[in-house]
């Protein structure tokens, strides 16, 4: 029994001490590794064809794994507010090559790629390329036309092409009727509150992904804010015409009988009048941060 007991006692000593050492070492190794490669999210195999060849018959499965990586990658970066999304395209490229019928990859992929930071990678050109590839592989799936129109409409501001995309999609018998209406409306009016609202509302209603849903909701709320502010500004102009001065606060408009009550933003905070005399979000409103972020990146982008 002697040697067995010795080993058992030794184990009681070795395990806690050893794991203590492992804990310490692992922290050191982590710091060391972090310092040698700050941007360590490498895609080892950047060639989609090579990946596909190596995937053998499991290519679709591999595509799913890559797609998970895309979502993880985007999610992690998004959470940390990092704008560097340069690996998004190679990952999406590989994913859709491995499984050309993975429609979700085109749809959400475009949504990650197209919008300016911080919402996306700011590469609407690549988004268009991705969706067009998706359309080629899945010609029957009309939602991809919607997405294409979406990118042209919001990010490229090319209303002719957006209209053409909606029209093309509407030819699909399964497509919802509004596609045709949208095609005409966008061609005639360009960007408008109703169109934008409708498009985001459709995204909001048609997705199950909570991240996308939240994003669409934020956009809708900000659109509403923008529209509200525009209306309040118009009323302020009316106020100026009547009283010869800009209103100092929103309640001035109410007292003048131009509005009933104090209007509130979608998060429930009252609008205020800013220094330049224009209506804007309350400083306490959670939407303010979103709005500032959107504007800052829009300015930074050429």
Partner 1 sequence: MPAPAIETENLTKEYPFGFLHLMKRTSLEGLNMQVETGEVFGFIGPNGAGKSTAIKLLMRLIFPTAGSARILGKPISDVEMHRDIGYLPEQPYFYDYLTATEVLDYFARFHDLAAADRKDRIERMLKKVGLETARKIQLRKYSKGMLQRVGLAQAILHDPKVVILDEPMSGLDPVGRREVRDIILQLKKDGKTVMFSTHILSDAEMLCDRVGVIVGGKLRGVGAPGTLVDMKTLGMEILFELTGASNAPLVAKATRTGDRYRLQVAEEELYAAIEQLRGAGARILSVSQVKATLEEFFMNLVEADRAQGAAVEVSEQ
Partner 2 sequence: MRRAGVVALNTFREAVRDRVLYNLVFFALLMIAASVAVGQISIGIEQTVIVSLGLSAISVIGLLISVFLGVALVSKEMDKRTLYALLAKPVRRWEFLLGKFGGLVLTLTVNTAAMALGLLLVMLYVKHGLGGSDTVVLVGVYFILLKLALVVALALLFSCFTTPLLAILFTVGLYIVGLYVQELRNLPVQVMSPAMSAFTKWLSYLLPNFENFNVMAMAAHGRAVPGALVLQNTLYTLVYCTIVLTAAAAVFSRRNLK
76 belongs to the binding site for partner 2 (CB under 8 A): yes
Quick one: 29 exposed, middle or buried, by C-beta within 10 A (0-12, 13-18, 19+)? exposed
177 belongs to the binding site for partner 1 (CB under 8 A): no
3 belongs to the binding site for partner 1 (CB under 8 A): yes
Contact call for residues 214 and 287 (beta carbons, < 8 A) = no
Contact call for residues 165 and 180 (beta carbons, < 8 A) = no
49 belongs to the binding site for partner 2 (CB under 8 A): no
How many helices (H) and strands (E) the chain has is answered by 13, 2
Contact call for residues 152 and 128 (beta carbons, < 8 A) = yes
4 belongs to the binding site for partner 2 (CB under 8 A): yes
Token pair belonging to 201: 């509302």
CA dihedral in degrees (281, 203, 156, 228; nearest 10)? -20
Q: Which stretch binds partner 2 (CB under 8 A): 38-46, 105-113, 158-166, 266-274?
A: 38-46
> What contacts 262, CB < 8 A, 6 or more positions away?
250, 251, 254, 270, 271
Q: How far is the CB of 62 from partner 1 (least distance, A)?
A: 41
2 belongs to the binding site for partner 1 (CB under 8 A): yes
Of 79, 177, 208, 283, the one binding partner 2 by CB under 8 A: 79
33 belongs to the binding site for partner 2 (CB under 8 A): yes
1 belongs to the binding site for partner 1 (CB under 8 A): yes
CA distance 214 to 74: 15
Of 53, 63, 65, 75, the one binding partner 2 by CB under 8 A: 75
Residue 8-27 contact track with partner 2, rule CB under 8 A, x = bound: x-xx--xx--xx-xxx-xxx
The DSSP output letter for 131 is H
173 binds, among partner 1, partner 2, none (CB under 5 to 8 A by kind): none
List interacting residues with partner 2 (CB under 8 A). 3-4, 7-8, 10-11, 14-15, 18-19, 21-23, 25-29, 32-33, 35-37, 40, 42, 44, 75-76, 79
């Amino acid at each position: 029994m002697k040697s067995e007991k010795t080993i058992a006692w030794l184990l009681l000593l070795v395990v806690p001490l050893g794991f203590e050492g492992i804990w310490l070492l692992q922290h050191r190794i982590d710091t060391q590794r972090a310092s040698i490669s700050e941007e360590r999210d490498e895609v080892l195999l950047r060639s989609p064809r090579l990946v596909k060849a190596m995937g053998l018959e499991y290519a679709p499965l591999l595509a799913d794994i890559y797609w998970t990586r895309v979502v993880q990658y985007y999610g992690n970066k998004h959470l940390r507010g990092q704008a560097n999304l340069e690996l998004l395209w190679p990952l999406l490229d590989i994913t859709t090559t491995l499984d050309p019928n993975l429609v979700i990859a085109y749809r959400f992929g475009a949504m990650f790629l197209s919008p300016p930071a911080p919402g996306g990678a700011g590469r609407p050109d690549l988004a268009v390329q991705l969706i067009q590839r998706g359309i080629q592989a899945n010609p029957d799936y009309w939602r991809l036309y919607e997405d294409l129109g979406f990118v042209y409409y919001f990010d490229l501001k090319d209303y002719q092409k957006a209209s053409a995309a909606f029209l093309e999609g509407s030819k699909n018998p399964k497509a919802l009727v509004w596609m045709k209406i949208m095609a005409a409306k966008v061609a005639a009016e360009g960007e408008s509150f109703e169109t934008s609202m409708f498009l985001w509302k459709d995204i909001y209603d048609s997705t199950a992904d909570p991240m996308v849903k939240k994003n669409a909701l934020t956009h809708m709320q900000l659109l509403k804010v923008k529209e509200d502010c525009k209306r309040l500004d118009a009323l302020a102009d009316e106020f100026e015409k009547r009283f010869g001065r800009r209103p100092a606060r929103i309640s001035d408009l109410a007292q003048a009988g131009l509005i009933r009550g104090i209007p509130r933003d979608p998060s429930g905070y009252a609008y205020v009048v800013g220094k330049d005399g224009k209506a804007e979000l309350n400083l306490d409103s959670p939407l303010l941060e979103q709005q500032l972020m959107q504007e800052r990146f829009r300015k930074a982008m050429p």
